[in-house]
Structure 1
């Protein structure tokens, strides 16, 4: 099997991390499930981190030799799962009365600009109903020379905002759902512009520091602290992801423990400062698809289970993948990461989703 050619198959490290209300003791069934899930992923580095009612269990494995820093202490690129941080940030700004969500994005970016009768609002951008494509029309032309290395890094912030201000949606905003990295990136720049605060500082002030997420950043800072991604073959290292002007859509990198803290806050909002915002991002805001089966909040995809809804979001960069999810009915949170680029029939997301859905 591709990626199993190294002499270290099956290397694993289980770590039990009891929280304030957690007790000692092993859960053999959970450990077996975690080991099975990690083996199914087949990547150089794999971490499945689970929290059940505040008690954490992490299983680390991979086809590569263990890095100098334990896998559970590295920061991993979470790609589009970064949008859950952006959604929470917007909800926090709205709950604090700093915004309503109904502000026209163009007016935030260009205060002197006139907007039409149906402008694209901040709420449209975060809910993927702004009528924008997945990426700007000229993104591919600019990104092509670096397609296998760092295509987003060739598309800076000013090009994102310029492309948005020039774009004319084909459909009236709010009438159709289309997943858009472009739209959430624009939201990040609009929030920065209207607040007069850089995106990194805005996120740190309203999300990272209140939740105590000291192991979360928007760019690689230390080779010893950041996980190294790999190509589809599971062997070729990739460069650290550069989000360019798409920071709000995919720049977050974080440790498994920080991601569990982030998810635990959603499970038990009362224990964290932005409690109202954490509750707000669990509220469904739209339905789409045949029979309106697909439910979304401002930050999460929401699917039903026998016991109640589960919330999740996945993400990928050119060399890593991530899955975040939580289930209020079972008090379970899952943060899963791997350092192998998505390929056809990749098992990572389906494995992580199945693990949480069957919990």
Structure 2
């Protein structure tokens, strides 16, 4: 998975074009279907945003009272779907020759370190094959006092990287897939160290600004800008999510329109200044499970449909959920967000997945 130039296939980038401009559209049949889906999601605030052939339809609603700012204009916490932004950033740095993806993460963080025979590489971290657990040692103990509010805020960047530099992987890197917030968070700090650029500046300059995502950020600003999340009961508000040292794994918050712009860039990469990276992140790099049924790209889960593959990633914080996906065969993108914490038999992800699968 870590070849001499890049650990995954790609095609040459073109860097000249500006992001496409999209116009909203009104599709009565689609709006009716979205209204049904919003009701099924059963959350205080729900926004479903669909782009088909570049024409957008947004539908907002929910079980709670409407906020002072229209739901579709607020920014939402997308949790682990932030990893798709991190994947695009790493791939873009590789396409531009800044990195190869085969660098030792420990050596990026500590240049004086001598890598072992099987180092954890940047590619291992983004593809969840680093051998690291889902969360670092001591996370539960440190986060427990704020478990229902902001446990990640209690595990800062310095502790996360120090733990990584001391902790051996549970498995040899590159041999097993295990989803890891920890690993992708280490990736963010390794990229910042390797480039000499703070993570927030790196993601802003290489992804947000490049794609024209002015409604996307890593920090909340208040209820005039950011949606308020709720606990599992759908009534009790929770504080804005603080990712602590886990910025790369889950800090992104964005408006539905910006999320559609992000997804539309994946559908039409040639219109984007990050064309090569956008094409590369659609290429399968890992197959696992019985019969290799589970397919992964650098940043996306990939499932088959009758017309071709669909790409998706979900995410959740302590009070919000998100689902992002796109289908090249139907030129469809879907961004779904809601303000209720995931609970047993939660309908949100299943509802959003079904919408995308319908095409």
* Residues 73, 256 of structure 2: 8 Å contact kept: yes
In 2, distance between residues paired with 1:231 and 1:53? 36
In 2, distance between residues paired with 1:266 and 1:294? 21
Would you say 1:210 and 2:200 are equivalent positions?
no
User: Which range moved further: 322-331 or 31-40?
Assistant: 31-40
CA displacement, residues 322-355 of structure 1 (integer Å, 9 cap, x when unaligned): 0000000000000000000000000000000011
CA displacement, residues 302-329 of structure 1 (integer Å, 9 cap, x when unaligned): 0000000000000000000000000000
* Residues 27, 57 of structure 2: 8 Å contact kept: no
TM-score by length of 1: 0.93
> Which residues in structure 2 correspond to 1:253-268 (within 5 Å)?
253-268=253-268
**Which residue is equivalent to 1:230?**
230
> Which residues in structure 2 correspond to 1:93-242 (within 5 Å)?
93-242=93-242
Would you say 1:34 and 2:52 are equivalent positions?
no
**Which residue is equivalent to 1:68?**
68
CA displacement, residues 184-220 of structure 1 (integer Å, 9 cap, x when unaligned): 0000000000111100000011000010101000010
Partner of 1:98, secondary structure, is coil
Partner of 2:210, secondary structure, is helix
Partner of 1:163, secondary structure, is helix
Would you say 1:330 and 2:330 are equivalent positions?
yes
In 2, distance between residues paired with 1:86 and 1:79? 12
In 2, distance between residues paired with 1:280 and 1:348? 29
Deviation at 1:269, TM superposition (A): 0.3
Deviation at 1:169, TM superposition (A): 1.4
TM-score by length of 2: 0.93
Partner of 2:303, secondary structure, is strand
Partner of 1:117, secondary structure, is coil
In 2, distance between residues paired with 1:49 and 1:57? 6
Deviation at 1:21, TM superposition (A): 7.1
**CA gap 1:29/1:75 in 2 versus in 1, 3 angstroms:** same
**Which residue is equivalent to 2:7?**
none
Deviation at 1:170, TM superposition (A): 2.5
Partner of 2:49, secondary structure, is strand
Partner of 2:83, secondary structure, is helix
**CA gap 1:21/1:109 in 2 versus in 1, 3 angstroms:** closer
Partner of 2:263, secondary structure, is helix
In 1, distance between residues paired with 2:194 and 2:300? 24
In 2, distance between residues paired with 1:226 and 1:50? 21
> Which residues in structure 2 correspond to 1:278-293 (within 5 Å)?
278-293=278-293
In 1, distance between residues paired with 2:103 and 2:160? 19
In 2, distance between residues paired with 1:20 and 1:227? 25
Deviation at 1:223, TM superposition (A): 2.3
In 2, distance between residues paired with 1:276 and 1:228? 36
Partner of 2:111, secondary structure, is coil
**CA gap 1:202/1:28 in 2 versus in 1, 3 angstroms:** same
Deviation at 1:20, TM superposition (A): 5.6
More RCO (CA 8 Å, sep 6+): 2
**CA gap 1:23/1:253 in 2 versus in 1, 3 angstroms:** closer
Deviation at 1:222, TM superposition (A): 2.9
CA displacement, residues 271-306 of structure 1 (integer Å, 9 cap, x when unaligned): 110000000000100001111000001110000000
Which of structure 1's runs of 4+ aligned residues deviate more than 6 A? none
In 1, distance between residues paired with 2:103 and 2:64? 48
